[in-house]
Chains A and B, each alone.
Chain A
């Protein structure tokens, strides 16, 4: 009777001499698939990340943008929402310049600015660029939200900041309708509101950055705002207090956005560097350009809505 042979667990260290007598040995059936002797690189990376964060070994830009944090912690949950919940379809991403300053101008809707966040993911995943969004001052007054907004690369919607970012070659996102757009009633869905005072156009003109019109379909349906509790909004210092079919009726459950199917389309860039210098001082030109951008977005919205069959399914 032959002696029982010890089969080393580690196959690589098995000596060829030991297996020579009776041909190629039969490998033991592994109990688990893929046993991991060393920690996976993901874990190592996580620890490395944690160490860098804890010792302050990371870079932020002048606006407080922290790419590492954005990439590691802020984008993944948004990406899940983008892919699984809203199943965003993106067209015309090639219209976003691959480099250099450009201004993405978009319609605003949905009671909460999820459309802005989804556009940021769309830009990041389709063009490998960060969208530096311009937010309302309310965002930066709220604790935590303001800090997160800065860290994810957003800044206050004001001309100095917009021009500064455009000059340094960043892709800037702006929602000129502001609260008028995002807080409009469901009955006014996909009807563009007034485009501010055209501040974004003068910023683009001053820096010569092209304007990329962006139309978002689907965000209107996430929180259909059917009423506005104005006294409560005043009390809380908010621009509006929305009532949707589920909020505040179902409490926190009502705050879950409806899973509408989204389509984000980036239109052809409108050049602004073809005008003579100091063109931004001509209010008529600024108005005309503002209207042109607004009309482009509105027409694209109608076209996309025409193609859409059901707001919630493909």
Chain B
């Protein structure tokens, strides 16, 4: 089914904003409505303002106005991309939770009342699986969540997914797609992870080395666009091929790892938060301890999408594209090797 009228939430973020612009560029799509409390993402502001392809509604999704917008515009596809760990607007944890969970509830309530809605796409996160020593190494969509901090972004995502399941039960005529995205990376996204690797000295947890799986922002956009334009109901993991070890990634970025004992992490985290550099939430710490790898068989076979970038390529693209100056350059190490071996 090709959507005629699409509503995208969270256009203030990278994915929401770019997705709205992409859908607007699709001739089959009639209208694209973008909703957020903050202005659209800087990367797509042009498209919104000058081309007027995306109609921007500056509203909070917790506002009943959203229901009116959906019914009046006869929206048939809703893409909920507002769920986020670090929103562009408020940063207080309680406010973020409110936005994430209550926002989703309101949006779903509005969708349930709107007979025109035919498809719902929810951008969720791989963080719903949690991370820990007792987790299977490769997580399929059926792996239950486990070891999640009582209060955090991952918990928000789990709750939102619960409400989405409830919605799918009550509106069986709506095709509901939930995409659990692995950590995004790319030259022009700003996430907890991109800021983390941009630190010259990267704090790690002593004695642990996480397996990390990434997803290039271009692939994340492509997978969301595909979900919005074709009906493929279900829950799907979306992550790139291959795995990098955290230590390996730090070396590839030319960074220095600074192992901190597990007990000293909260102090280090407070320091980094205080310095407005990186946010170390409990969930993120567990992730850095144990890592997380998703099984993407269902994404390929059922959803019909294969990420174009592997984890390694995506990471290298981030390193080169965001102009990270390596603290330890590969050239230096290569030179040192040649010097020591005496090869000419």
Contacts and interface: CB of A to CB of B under 8 A. Distances in A.
Interface of A: 38-39, 43-44, 47-48, 50-51, 53-56, 58-64, 66, 137, 140-144, 146-147, 150-151, 155-156, 158, 160-161, 164
A147 B208 contact: yes
A160 B262 CA distance: 28
A143 B207 contact: yes
B330 interface: yes
Contacts of A56: 244, 247-252
B337 A48 contact: yes
Contact of B245 (A54, A64, A137, A141): A64
A60 B138 contact: no
B328 interface: yes
A164 B295 CA distance: 10
A179 B205 CA distance: 28
Interface string B333-344: 110010011110
Contacts of B244: 56, 60
Interface string B292-336: 010100000000000000000000000000000000101001100
A39 B250 CA distance: 31
Nearest to A69: B245
Interface in B130-163: 133-138, 140, 143
Contact of A54 (B243, B291, B328, B342): B328
Contacts of B213: 62
Contact of B137 (A51, A59, A66, A155): A155
B251 A55 contact: yes
Given A48-B337, A60-B211, A147-B208, A137 B133 contact: yes
Given A60-B245, A62-B138, A144 B341 contact: no
Interface in B225-247: 242-245, 247
B333 A54 contact: yes
Nearest to B312: A59
B206 interface: yes
A161 B137 contact: yes
30 contacts: A39-B342, A43-B341, A44-B341, A47-B341, A50-B337, A51-B333, A51-B334, A51-B337, A55-B252, A55-B330, A56-B250, A56-B251, A56-B252, A59-B242, A61-B243, A62-B137, A62-B213, A63-B137, A64-B291, A140-B133, A140-B134, A140-B290, A146-B207, A146-B208, A147-B207, A150-B209, A150-B211, A156-B136, A161-B138, A164-B137
A204 B171 CA distance: 40
B208 A143 contact: yes
B62 to A, nearest CB: 38
B43 to A, nearest CB: 29
A2 to B, nearest CB: 38
B216 to A, nearest CB: 18
A146 B205 CA distance: 12
A164 B244 CA distance: 19
Nearest to A142: B207
Contacts, number: 98
Contacts of A151: 209, 245
Interface string B200-232: 000001111101010000000000000000000
- A-B pairs, top 5 by smallest CB distance, nearest first, are A143-B207, A56-B251, A56-B252, A140-B133, A144-B207
B342 A146 contact: no
A47 B138 contact: no
Contacts of B342: 38-39
A264 B213 CA distance: 38
A136 B263 CA distance: 23
A58 B135 CA distance: 25
B251 A54 contact: yes
Contact of B209 (A47, A59, A147): A147
Most chain B CB inside 10 Å of its own CB: which residue of A59, A64, A164: A64
B337 A158 contact: no
B207 A60 contact: no
Contacts of B249: 56
B250 to A, nearest CB: 8
Nearest to A45: B341
Contacts of B330: 55
Interface in B162-218: 205-209, 211, 213
A158 B209 contact: no
Nearest to B207: A143
Contacts of A51: 333-334, 337
A176 B250 CA distance: 37
B138 A143 contact: no
Given A140-B133, A147-B207, A164-B137, 15 more contacts: A38-B342, A50-B337, A54-B333, A55-B252, A56-B252, A59-B242, A61-B243, A137-B134, A140-B134, A141-B133, A143-B262, A150-B209, A151-B209, A156-B137, A160-B138
Interface in B243-270: 243-245, 247-252, 262
B136 A55 contact: no
Contacts of B340: 47
A40 to B, nearest CB: 11
B232 to A, nearest CB: 24
Contacts of B291: 64
A58 B248 contact: yes
Contact of A64 (B137, B295, B328, B333): B137
Contacts of A66: 245
Nearest to B262: A143
